[in-house]
Structure 1
Amino acid sequence: MSTLSDRLAPGRRDAVRRGGKRRGRLVAAAATAWLVFVVLHLLLSGRFWLWLVPDLVPPLVYLAVPLLLVAALPLTRGRARLWCAGATAVAFALGAGQSGLDPAALRAGGEPPPPGSIRLVSWNTEYWDQDDDPERFYGLLKARNADVYVLQEYLNWVDGTPRRVDEQARLRREFPGYHIAVQGELVTLSRFPIVSTVPVGPARSLGPRPPWDSAFALGKVLRTDLRIGPSIVSLYNVHIPTQYMLDENPFASRFYTALRGRAAARQAQFRGLEEDLAGNHRPVVVAGDFNSTGAMGEMRGLFDRLSSADRAGDSLMPTSWPADGPALWRLDWIFTASLAVHDYRLLDPRGMSDHRMQETRLSVKGGGGA
């Protein structure tokens, strides 16, 4: 059977063959480049500050790019096709775990919550109620009827500068009977008694009553120890600094100076959190906005030590930012140790934040350390 190129005039036939070879080389180059990118990501993410820029790609690309390369395989021939198929398969095997895909969602989720289980909500409020109707804002929070609220960005943002807010009087009115802990932009509300607060990481350098600006800059992890029945559970409210501001110019040298500084600040918060967890043998919950996807190397220590609550969820690809969609990034997380997780959901913030709200139900396994 003759092919199309066999039926063409000789000159045209040669042009078609050259075009096919060029397309095949392009696919081979793309497969090679993608494999190199995935290998570099595994080696450099969380270890080299400049990789924070490639870390910004949506994790979904670790699935999407291999699928596109497979679709392009018919454009290659012979050894080039074998190379493309092999490179794509290796890249997929190495990168699939970085994609954010949660196969556990195919199972039935966690065990049904027992009586007395704890409802916990974690949410980056996006500058509290600065641009929202306060009644709607507080109504959204109260509608969750959570036992514990872990909230970030308890502040306003004016002319590019963070500004303190003080709504503790209103919080006490809106949430009567709750215990309140505040550090900089972090606020934790709990129906359970807060028996202690422990400085974590860079916040250890803060005095007992630090200026708000200092607490905002250094206090990105708020640990509160809660008495829940006979147990004490350590709750970590986390807001890791962002690595990139959307209005910054990556072609200016100051962009890289700022990037390196933010990388150092992020690493200090992650190290402080991991060091505190290493010395804490109580049941723990670590919740908040990590400004980090599951593909980023800075999260490895938490994944190695703790369990992600989304294993009890029902979403194959849970994403939390931007909330008004399409949400391509998972920046908000809840991790636990020595606690049973019964369900996990990401909720619509009704236009009051660019982050989706996390909600889970937990219970203490046996007795926690006192």
Structure 2
Amino acid sequence: MLTKWLAILLVGWVLRHGYFASQLGTPEFTKDSWLDILDAVIFSTNLEFPYVRNPAYGFSSDGSPQKRDTWRVHAVYATFAIAFASAICSSIIYSALVPAPDDSAVAEKEVSDTLELDGNEGQMVMLYQELSDDEPGLLCADHGPRTARTGRALRQDLEGGTYLVRFTDGEEPETGIFPLHQLNPDFSKDESDTMDQPCCSGWLHLEELETGGDRLLLFERRAQVLDAFRSLLCLQLPFLVWRLYFNSFQLDFVAWGGTTMLIGKNALWGLLDIVKILSCGRPDAVLCRCRPVEYLQKATNSKLGQVWVGPSGLVAFMVEIAGSLRAKRLQHREMKIQQHIEWLITESQKTKNHQLYATRLQEVQRELVVIQEKKQFTFP
């Protein structure tokens, strides 16, 4: 048993932190393959389940004699073998067929991504500087509990300190004048941009898999769709059905809890595979003015995407989940405070009342110190 888990950990380390072949493809395709392999190995323990094993030897699950019945053990073993082999072969075939990247295209892409990133980061502050008085200002919000309202704020005069806010949440009052200390900058995406999108778009566009863009990106999109078919038909759906079937015979509460979490994992990944197939690999497909691919990928990056190794891993999972949620909240709050500091510095440079902004800046910086201290004492 120990040798089996060590071998799986070694394969997982290779798939999570490297390529099968150096400088070929991208790590996004193979980084999650280790999760399918671990899931398949965990599923293989069902071969030891009395309801599966005993009938093959002529016994019922409680030990009484009966006619030999081998269909369960053969079906479970075939499901495991197909899932495990397909997960391994998927990464091997990908590495064998992926086209070599064009150096010039890669360099151009890296420069483009860098400029786009710098532009987005600068836009958070520079967007307000470049606007005139008759244009909507920086999107601001009060992040206090139960009082968060989003709107666009315009500085009243060169003295600073007060802002005219036009709220965008549709509630009353629609406008108001607020002092500096009641406003927090919000650099998240404006909700009005999402409302302008069509209710449903970007689905079943098969031409996305035939033409368009760089050869490597086109291959990557096709590979993701085909791998979604493999994951859905060979692993997620069969494992989900078998685990629901075996869960009806489960009386051990601890084992039932672990199986239930694996059922949730198979359901979530299966839904993500279906969305990838229907969107033809497009992450910007819209349904009811939201993007299901992005939301589901965020969910798969949660603790469900970290299958535990061995029986004691379930305990570690429960211990870490509370600390992880707290760490994410603190990290999000730290990012908001840092954005607030940048906004105050920029605003102080455009007004005459520098002391007012300096006082508020010191208050926000003290909040940042408190958040950073809390992060140091947060597990994990």
TM-score where L is the length of structure 2: 0.21
Greater Cα radius of gyration, structure 1 or 2: 2
* Bigger share in strand: 1
* Bigger share in helix: 2
Structure with greater contact order relative to length (CA < 8 Å, sep ≥ 6): 1
